[in-house]
Amino acid sequence: MANADILHVEVAYVPKGAPADVVRLELAPGATILHAVRASGLLTRHTGIDLTAQRVGIWGRVKPLSEPLRDQDRVEIYRPLTVDPKEARRLRYRDHRQRKAGG
């Protein structure tokens, strides 16, 4: 296989409270997100990953596991949200108002 026929991709996962686990891979053309995740070994190192429940994407955009990869793609496995983003914004706003009123 010539170098032009190889896809160079990264697969990244950041476990809660731990540093990022990033794996660089060389895959055959036509490989999908699922192929990359399986080849990365992340599923065995991080047993909490559940691909049926967690979202995955390429460069910050959610994609299906069947999405074909391109050279230099970065596959990301996303953890579930722990707080609703709207609720987090409300809490920050309330905290900001209390600090402003107190000082």
- Residue 76's CATH number: 3.10.20.90
Count of domains in the chain?
1
Q: What is the pTM (predicted TM-score) of this model?
A: 0.76
Q: Extract the runs of DSSP E, i.e. beta strands, from the chain.
A: 7-13, 21-27, 56-58, 61-63, 74-77
Exposure of 61 in the CB half-sphere (CA atoms within 13 A):
4
Give the domain extent around 58. 3-102
Per-residue model confidence as pLDDT tens digits over 62-86: 999 999 999 999 999 998 877 778 8
Between 23 and 3, the more confident residue is 23
pLDDT score recorded for residue 1:
46
Residue with tokens 């036509």: 30
Confidence category of residue 25, pLDDT binned at 50, 70, 90: very high
Confidence category of residue 87, pLDDT binned at 50, 70, 90: confident
pLDDT score recorded for residue 4:
66
